[in-house]
Amino acid sequence: MTTSPLLDAYRLTEEPKWHPTGEEVAQFTAAYSVRLPVMLKGPTGCGKTRFVEHMASRLDRPLVTVSCHEDMTASDLVGRYLLGPDGTIWQDGPLTLAVRHGGICYLDEIVEARQDTTVIIHALTDDRRILPLEKKGELVRAHPDFQLVISYNPGYQSVLKDLKESTKQRFCALDFDYPVAEIETSIVASEADIPTSTAAVLVKIGEKSRNLRGQGLSEGASTRMLIHTGRLMQQGLTLPEACRLAMITPITDDPDMRAALEAAVDACS
């Protein structure tokens, strides 16, 4: 596969590690082979972004990542006119770069973007595979190697922050969740460079925090948080110190909930 030099900066130089939990690699590969758009659904910190990075590297494609937010406009995605020394010039946005030159465009946490912004991806997710640049009066036809990937956390969905059915039904979807204990232990041990026995303790603490979801916690400790905790322990912090810094304090401000989580740490120590 050949790619424009304009996307060289978006190529991953090393293949990020991925610990398969099912058939997600084969399923994503199948979707990419026919350029179907893919939606990744799962809680914060469970590995959705890492998975996309792994697959982009595995498929030898540039990966253009956009972290969506509520102030993001359509121009932030597709591009805008800028004032240059010789007058106004058009600058492609990240989505247009990927569409035009054949990269994978990953819109992370798509529900954070305004719904009027996400509508612009519709024409890219059906047989047309086109991107209208209304301000420029151009219709960009997607490069044969272009693929669109989006992600979101269904746990945060609400009336105001959810994908429209007309958007969801345009995508293949892969469900992600925190791995089973054995796999998560292996991930934490590998990523944090800590003994498996220590990683297993962190995973138990993570599971206890997730059991409190809906009972005072909107989210339990993610796999990412467990890795951060392990890395702090590598720097000499004790288990309670590292858990408090990387896990407990970030996910709750409630004194009683913090006390409950600290008790869970003590019980697992």
pLDDT, tens only, 58-92 = 999 999 999 999 888 889 999 999 988 888 999 99
CATH number for the domain harbouring residue 13:
3.40.50.300
Does residue 163 share a domain with residue 122?
Answer: yes
Q: Are residues 141 and 49 in the same domain?
A: yes
Domain count, the chain: 2
Contact 149, 40 (CB under 8 A): yes
pLDDT of residue 3: 62
User: How far from each other are the two terminal CA atoms of the chain, in whole angstroms?
Assistant: 51
Candidates 256, 229, 225, 253; CA nearest to 240 is 229
Question: Could you say which of 145, 175, 205 is where a domain stops?
Answer: 175
Strands (E), 161-225: 172-175
Query: What does the pLDDT average to over 154-180?
Result: 81
In the block, tokens 């990927």 appear at 98
Q: What is the pTM of this model?
A: 0.90
3-state secondary structure of 181: helix
Residues spanned by the domain of 39? 5-175
Beta strands 104-108 and 147-152, pairing class: parallel
Instruction: Indicate the average pLDDT of the chain.
Output: 92
Indicate whether 156 pLDDT > 80.
Answer: no
**Residue 157 predicted with pLDDT over 70:** no
CB distance 202 to 229 below 8 Å: yes
pLDDT at 159: 45
Per-residue pLDDT of 97-146, as tens digits, reads 999 999 999 999 998 888 778 888 999 999 999 999 999 999 999 999 99
Residue after which a domain boundary falls, among 143, 175, 207: 175
Residues 165 and 200 placed together within one structural domain of the fold:
no
Greatest CA separation for the chain:
68
CA dihedral 65, 70, 71, 76 (to 10 degrees): 30
Domain boundary among the residues 115, 148, 175 is at 175
Q: Is there a single domain that holds both residue 246 and residue 166?
A: no
